A and B are shown apart, each in its own frame.
Chain A
């Protein structure tokens, strides 16, 4: 059962071939059996079984949805009422959220079952799940390697079949990059498509909720439930939500796919390049026309991002002061207010988070604001305009999601720049607010490789359609890691 996609499980539940309770128990057993992956921070077993029982009642009564009874996991960045929400940080180690995030509300209303909260880089800052206060999450394809980040736990859990879908967030690539490294399908919608209410903020002009699933079809089923206007998020857009799960089967129009030449320059692993080129040839066989394009300023994505994101983070994380919630150091009192804040924050935050807050403080400080923050905002405009110009000539853009396959745990932690360069291909879509996704397209040195598709604003339906056509013609997305044998807990 755990081998099946969300769509297949939905069918099985609807046909009463399996009950939601049986399915939930099977996944909970599997989570426990493979706990060495460390992909969950909190497992909500009792609650999950209650939700599953309610889902079975709903299915029996005939008023279920496609997601009723589906066991999934939420990245621990989404507030879940009555459940610990840590954001991967000591700062929120004892925080029990008093409310549900919009994404959580919507999926619960559809009848989905929450298995638990997944591991992540602390405050979503990282590309490997190595900055989590709760320890590294492991890649089921090779547990000595990272699953990617920051949504590493979600990607690893889906890849290891510990749940059939999970939510994630993507600020610089944190859904797509772990999807690529862990061999699953990851979608980042258009900025403003999915409400950020209840999603702990890292960089508010970049953050977006996304999905980790086996297939584009599954992503479509989730996206049509979580997309939509929410008055509680001032950046939520009032665009109609297309019926994504129906549109994936739309007749495959002859699309023109732009391939950025500058995504294939030095720094790209040869095995990754080979798998991506093979995927592009597959798209040609499916009737697409490839067109070489040049995104002239995209090499500035990483520097621009590492000004803008830390700047916004330094502002967003100033709320964590140990006053109303969050970590309070044992010796915080008795030295004045400034020392109180410094002790709580110094102890509550990990090293990467502190580095980013300091970077943000630096680039926003008097004398540096124009040279860094303002300049980065202008470069952001240049990068965004490059994409807009490209979309006047092509329907979507394709290329590698990451420069390398999954790297070893500890390999890049000593060098922040080397770590940041993992997001070299993904960051552009966040800066421009564009929808983008990663789908499995092959292997390099036995490790998964992701193909990235980027679309114009609100182009999710077309991206999902393109991904689905590829997944009908290939089976990379159905491969499972050998260490996680099928047939367990059937």
Chain B
């Protein structure tokens, strides 16, 4: 099934990715090929099959609700592009 360029742009929007006009045609062609590959799955009879999300059949391990982490924000924020008073700087969110 082919994916049109408009559909690629919609997906890019959802994924918060920028796909330039120059890239879009190539991305559309390649993604269409990939979707063609995975379309093979449609022919498989899976009516009675339980989906498998994970190779392990275990339940989530829980731990006591106690504080175990230390405040290491200075170390973690060393990689931040823009920080002020321990806060990450981003574009204005609320208009």
Contact = CB atoms under 8 A, between A and B. Distances in A.
> Do A and B come from the same complex?
yes
B33 to A, nearest CB: 6
Q: How large is the interface on A (under 10, 10 to 19, 20 to 34, 35 or more residues)?
A: 35 or more
B53 A98 contact: no
Contact of A303 (B16, B20, B38, B79): B38
Contact of B37 (A231, A332, A365, A417): A417
B61 A96 contact: no
Given A358-B31, A417-B37, A314 B15 contact: yes
Contacts of B30: 355, 416
A205 B11 contact: no
Nearest to B44: A379
Interface in B6-28: 8, 11-20, 23, 27
Given A307-B41, A359-B34, A362-B11, A346 B3 contact: no
A358 B33 contact: no
Contacts of A297: 44
A326 B75 CA distance: 15
Contacts of B40: 300, 303
A458 B50 CA distance: 24
Contact of B14 (A192, A237, A326, A361): A361
B11 A345 contact: no
Interface stretch (A124-132, A157-165, A259-267, A336-344): A336-344
Nearest to B14: A361
Contact of A346 (B19, B54, B80, B91): B19
B34 A355 contact: yes
B41 A98 contact: no
Given A314-B15, A381-B51, A333 B31 contact: no
Contact of A384 (B14, B16, B55, B80): B55
A372 B12 CA distance: 19
Contacts of A354: 17, 19, 27
Nearest to A333: B91
A389 interface: no
A59 B37 CA distance: 55
B34 A433 contact: no
B55 A205 contact: yes
Contact of B17 (A98, A337, A342, A378): A342
B90 A371 contact: no
Interface stretch (A6-14, A168-176, A194-202, A316-324): A316-324
Contact of A345 (B14, B16, B49, B77): B16
A17 B38 CA distance: 56
A380 B77 CA distance: 40
B31 A362 contact: yes
A234 interface: yes
Contact of A234 (B31, B53, B60, B88): B60
Contact of B72 (A98, A346, A432, A433): A98
A2 B61 CA distance: 44
Given A95-B79, A347-B18, A363 B49 contact: no
A417 to B, nearest CB: 6
A237 B46 contact: no
A431 B16 CA distance: 28
Contacts of A325: 79-81
A349 B19 CA distance: 11
B42 interface: yes
Contact of A342 (B18, B23, B33): B18
A479 B84 CA distance: 56
Interface in A402-424: 415-417, 420
Interface of A: 94-96, 98, 191-192, 205, 231, 234-235, 237, 297, 300, 302-304, 306-307, 314, 318, 321-326, 328, 332-338, 340-343, 345-347, 349, 351, 354-355, 357-359, 361-363, 365, 371-372, 374-382, 384, 415-417, 420, 431-434
Given A323-B88, A379-B49, 9 more contacts: A234-B61, A322-B81, A342-B17, A351-B27, A355-B27, A358-B19, A375-B41, A375-B42, A379-B44
Interface of B: 3, 8, 11-20, 23, 27, 30-31, 33-35, 37-42, 44, 46, 49-56, 58, 60-61, 63, 72, 75-82, 88, 90-93
14 contacts: A205-B53, A321-B16, A324-B77, A325-B80, A337-B92, A338-B13, A343-B18, A345-B16, A358-B11, A358-B31, A378-B46, A378-B50, A379-B49, A431-B55
